[in-house]
Amino acid sequence: MYREAAVAFCALVENRDSHPALEWLKSVHLLLPCLYAATLALPRVVPDTENAGERTITHDDWQALYTDLTDRLGRWDSYFDVSDPY
């Protein structure tokens, strides 16, 4: 379940130029809860810290993706911080 949701989310990000921004953002909104739920359903494991911190993307590539997503989201590139009322 997790792998499928993660692959779908990565494909959505990688193919972001294939759809208008609002249609793409709606797809993100629909997929993120599925990815989050699948993540919560993963079993607890002892992490392999031997490869911790290993990068699969360069900082420059990450920055380019971040900037592209920020530009694509436009005025929707923010969130509200909600305080815990308890």
Q: How far is CA 10 from CA 7, 46, 50, in A?
A: 5, 25, 25
| Residue 20 confidence (pLDDT) above 80 | yes
Task: Determine the pLDDT at residue 30.
Answer: 94
At 10, the pLDDT band (50, 70, 90 cuts) reads: very high
Which tens digits make up the pLDDT trace of 23-76?
998 999 999 999 999 999 999 988 777 766 666 888 999 999 999 988 888 887
DSSP, residue by residue, 37-67:
HHHHTSPP----GGGTT--SS-HHHHHHHHH
Task: Determine the pLDDT at residue 11.
Answer: 94
**Quick one: residue 42, left, alpha or beta (phi over 0 = left, psi -120 to 50 = alpha)?**
beta
